[in-house]
Amino acid sequence: MQKIEAINDFVVKFANINGSGSASANELFARAILRMGVPVSPRNIFPSNIQGLPTWFEVRVTEHGYLGRRGGVDMMVTMNPQTWDQDVREIDPGGYLFYDSSKPIPRARFRDDIHVIGMPVTEICNNAYTDSRERQLLKNIIYIGALTQLLEIDPAEIEKLFGEQYKGKEKLFDANVQALNLGRDYAQQHLKRIALKVERRDAVGDKVFVDGNSAAALGCVYGGATVCAWYPITPSSSVAEAFIRYTQKLRVDPATGQHRYAIVQAEDELASIGMVVGAGWNGARSFTATSGPGISLMTEFIGLAYFAEIPAVVINVQRGGPSTGMPTRTQQADVLACAYASHGDTRHVLLFPEDPYECFEMSAQALDLAERLQTPIFVMSDLDIGMNQRLCRPFAWDESREYDRGKVMTREALDAGTDFGRYLDVDGDGIPYRTYPGTHPTKGGYFTRGSTKNAYAGYSEAGADYVYNMQRLLRKFETAKSLVPLPVLTAAKFPARFAAIFYGSTSPAMHEAIDALAEQGIYINALRIRAFPFQNEIADFIAAHSKVFVLEQNLDGQLTTLLINEAGVSPASLIRVLHYDGTPITARFITQEIAERVSRINVRPLREGMVA
């Protein structure tokens, strides 16, 4: 029988039961490999449930640093009898099945083309421990112990991690080390070596291992957000929770113990965005974090903030839609809902982070953009980036960086007799000046409303006033193009006819696919879009190629629609490549889809009697 052999390049998937403490044990496994200098990319695939339903944890070990989901499983660790059949099916031929052999399993439920490793994990655990909670938690550590032995993971790294986790808790530390060794000893005495192996490398460098939601929260701390109003919703709740954690550490006045921030858990998303709008109106940097259904609820307020021109930052950690959709699965399916949120003619600025590093960067930048442009800014993260720990560049902050508070007219300027028109375009960029409430006893006060107004904020239904305002908003959106992050080009090694456009969490899988396609002789230029509105570079890039694949994690090709609508791109040149089953897009999927389409395109001209 064939045997998958690999050093530092394989996928281990754990099948567990939700609420059993498995996720922390599996994370420990991933971290230990990371500490050996080998990059890993873990993904928690969990149900919308607290306890009892199936959950999976996938760890990709990748010396090359390919952090996207690869697809396929080299080793399955099955600790959940409920999902046995589907888990066994998923293993690549020649792969390995590690299972709990405490109870006999009929031969028919195995496969002949995989290597089976049975270990009586429950039995070993129950013999060693009597307390039920202890049994539940330490069972996980026992199988991790066995895996370290099988895969040659240095147990010293795990012990170091225990030491960090249980600092000052000797008893817990000892119990965990003991359980780890129970697993190691059994594996050493009873299990055969396998051909998957971790070897120490120096491939991690100074990278950090963090989830995108924590990174976005940290970006809000560094970007100067003082007001956070939120309502719990998966997969965004941990943004606000991380903001609470970081502000408690970083934003408390050392002399008085007072807080340089205010966080309110609102009664719903209608209220959370309302509070953000109120704070933004009054000159504080504010944000909320939400996901699809929250965006639907916030849409009326987003329209108000757009039309009344109030800064607001919305971190949208996208999940599967529509409606409640797939709350614990990932998609990029809110692109259009956010780009055009509200009734009437509206357009909103979107930022697309590729990883936690950009979640940090773009959240901080969004706070600047919101005040510069006086409008809502969306940070379009997703569950794959937001809730999984990802290896990425370390966060950086330039000490000379100032907050851009935008066009704010001061009391001094008003006293000097400066003409103040709240909605007056004084310098052609479409952005008017604003005053903070309470600025001046007799000048600069104005009435904010969602209804139409003239340039001096007076209520007006005159067509000319309305048109002036809408045209100015268009100019402002044009100005936004020069402020949002530029797309990033990855040029092929050789001149390429084909191109690809991608964004957000598709990035690591795409980069891996580009390499894989190049090995097959398919060269593509790839452009990662980082923001909407689209800069001219994007239309130029599309125009320079006969066919452009647009990679998206939604069914409708939402970014493609936006490109056609907003960048004046011919639909004929765009080919949608869509992945929308709720799992993160894989390099294998992209490679296969593009290779297939390229071969089809390459034969068609001959058949149609055209010159290729």
Partner 1 sequence: MCVHFVKGWWPEMTYLAKPTLHHPSLTKNRVGFTRRDYEGKISTLCAGCGHDSISAAIIQACWELDVEPHRVAKLSGIGCSSKTPDYFLGNSHGFNTVHGRMPSVLTGAYLANRELIYLGVSGDGDSASIGLGQFAHVMRRGVNMTYIVENNGVYGLTKGQFSATADKGSKSKRGQVNNDAPLDLVTLALVMGATFVGRGFSGDKTQLVPLIKAALAHQGAAVIDVLSPCLAFNNHTGSTKSYDYVREHNEAVNRLDFWPQREEITAEYGEGEVTEVRQHDGSVVRLRKLHADYDPTDRIRAMSYIQEHAARGEVVTGLLYLDVDSADLHEQLGTVDAPLNTLGAAELCPGSAALEQINASLR
Within residues 427-446, the interface with partner 1 by CB under 8 A covers 435-443, 445-446
Closest CB 469 distance from partner 1, rounded Å: 16
Closest CB 383 distance from partner 1, rounded Å: 20
Q: Which residue has the tokens 């989901």?
A: 69
Residue (368 or 382) nearer to partner 1, CB: 368
Size of the site for partner 1 (CB under 8 A): 76
Residue (196 or 276) nearer to partner 1, CB: 276
Within residues 173-192, the interface with partner 1 by CB under 8 A covers none
Closest CB 108 distance from partner 1, rounded Å: 46
Residue (219 or 508) nearer to partner 1, CB: 219
CB distance 303 to 328 below 8 Å? no
CA distance 230 to 126: 44
CA distance 196 to 210: 26
Within residues 557-586, the interface with partner 1 by CB under 8 A covers none
Residue (71 or 303) nearer to partner 1, CB: 303
Within residues 258-287, the interface with partner 1 by CB under 8 A covers 258-264, 266-268, 270-284, 286
* CA distances from residue 31 to 41, 76, 267, 478 in whole angstroms, order as listed: 10, 18, 37, 45
Q: Convert residues 304-333 into a mask of x (bound to partner 1 by CB under 8 A) and - (unbound).
A: x-----------------------------
Residue (266 or 496) nearer to partner 1, CB: 266
Q: What are phi and psi of 549, to 5 degrees?
A: -80, 135
CB distance 551 to 510 below 8 Å? yes
Q: Convert residues 213-232 into a mask of x (bound to partner 1 by CB under 8 A) and - (unbound).
A: -----x--xx-x-xx-x---
CA distance 319 to 356: 17
Q: Which residue has the tokens 């083309």?
A: 113
CB distance 299 to 342 below 8 Å? yes
Closest CB 600 distance from partner 1, rounded Å: 44
Beta-bridge partner residues of 351: 379, 531
Residue (170 or 253) nearer to partner 1, CB: 253
Closest CB 258 distance from partner 1, rounded Å: 4
CA distance 187 to 226: 53
Smallest CA-to-CA distance from 528 within 552, 555, 564, 562 is with 552
How many angstroms separate the most distant Cα atoms in the chain? 89
CA distance 499 to 514: 10
Within residues 377-436, the interface with partner 1 by CB under 8 A covers 394-399, 401-403, 435-436
Closest CB 170 distance from partner 1, rounded Å: 22
Within residues 64-103, the interface with partner 1 by CB under 8 A covers none
> Which of 131, 170, 202, 253 is in the footprint of partner 1 by CB under 8 A?
253
Residue (399 or 608) nearer to partner 1, CB: 399
User: 394: cis peptide before it, omega within 30°?
Assistant: no
Closest CB 4 distance from partner 1, rounded Å: 30
DSSP 334: -
Where does this chain touch partner 1 (CB under 8 A) — which range of 53-61, 249-257, 511-519, 521-529? 249-257
Q: State which H helix or E strand residue 549 sits in.
A: strand 547-552
49 is a contact residue toward partner 1 (CB under 8 A): no
Q: Convert residues 453-492 into a mask of x (bound to partner 1 by CB under 8 A) and - (unbound).
A: -----xxxx-------------------------------
Q: Is 175 left (phi over 0), alpha (psi -120 to 50) or beta?
A: alpha
Residue (163 or 437) nearer to partner 1, CB: 437
Residue (62 or 439) nearer to partner 1, CB: 439
Q: What is the dihedral angle through the alpha carbons of 101, 105, 107, 109, rounded to the nearest 10 degrees? A: -110
Residue (322 or 438) nearer to partner 1, CB: 438
Residue (202 or 253) nearer to partner 1, CB: 253
Contacts of 417 (CB under 8 A, 6+ apart): none
Closest CB 278 distance from partner 1, rounded Å: 3
CB distance 346 to 313 below 8 Å? no
Token readout for 226 is 């003082």
Token readout for 164 is 């960090």
